Amino acid sequence: MRTIKLFSSIALLVILSLACSSSSDSPDSAPGCESLSNATDAAEAAYYTATAANLAERCAAYKTALQNEINSCGDASGDLQDTFNDLSDCNIGPVNSSVISVKVGSVIKTYETNVTVTTVGPNLEIRAYDNATATDNIFFKIPVGTTGANKISNFNLRLLSSDYNPLSEAEGGNWTSNISVNSATTITGTFFGIVTSPTTGADLDLTQGTIISL
């Protein structure tokens, strides 16, 4: 009887040990995955509020956080790796170049042709054209000399003959912008969120939007 009880106890311990081992092998349950995800979120927020002076540094920190999370916790959907790849080598070019760039879905769009900044009343009206597609352009307004969150208004993305505007919060929109520098010679900032076409009803997800030295 003692032999049977001892054998049963050993078998139970083996089963429990195997179950624990199997659970710990899963990337999602790896110790620290929640904290690594939080670190990635924090690095992303810092990246989207960067200035021209610290954009490269914060971009590198964001890439490091993404890589740490991928290495320790996996990336089954591939979303983390896609974001990492889109950040490229964090080379933002000369700070005196005028460029607006944004990721539209999975495509990076760059607007650096015929960039105009016009003062109209209390606002600056900014328009820039895609260097590859002459008809595609981006337009928005910001108050003269004002910095901070959500200062961009009247945002319009012209893409393939359709106009897109930020989706309202009431409809589930998440439009966010931040202007970090707004002087007589330099405007820098970031933006992202869902935009929708008032004519077709199609939605686009804009991410990694940057305004550099307009």
What is residue 50's predicted lDDT score, i.e. its pLDDT? 67
Per residue in 174-191, pLDDT (tens digit) is: 999 999 889 888 888 999
Question: Among 180, 168, 165, which Cα is nearest to 210's?
Answer: 180
Residue 134's Cβ-count burial label (10 Å; 0-12, 13-18, 19+) is exposed
**Six-digit token pair at 84?**
């990492």
d(CA 123, CA 141): 6
Question: Among 25, 22, 27, 21, which Cα is nearest to 76's?
Answer: 27
CA 75 to chain centre: 17
Per residue in 70-81, pLDDT (tens digit) is: 999 999 888 888
Residues (pLDDT < 50) of the chain are: 1-27, 29, 92-96
What is residue 131's predicted lDDT score, i.e. its pLDDT? 72
Q: Is the dihedral of CA 79, 41, 193, 59 positive or negative?
A: negative
Instruction: Please answer whether residues 112 and 123 qualify as being in contact, where contact means their C-beta atoms are separated by less than 8 angstroms.
Output: no
Question: Among 210, 157, 146, 208, which Cα is nearest to 181's?
Answer: 146
Q: What pTM was computed for the model?
A: 0.59
What is residue 198's predicted lDDT score, i.e. its pLDDT? 93
What is residue 122's predicted lDDT score, i.e. its pLDDT? 94
Question: Among 123, 130, 124, 59, which Cα is nearest to 100's?
Answer: 130
What is residue 153's predicted lDDT score, i.e. its pLDDT? 96
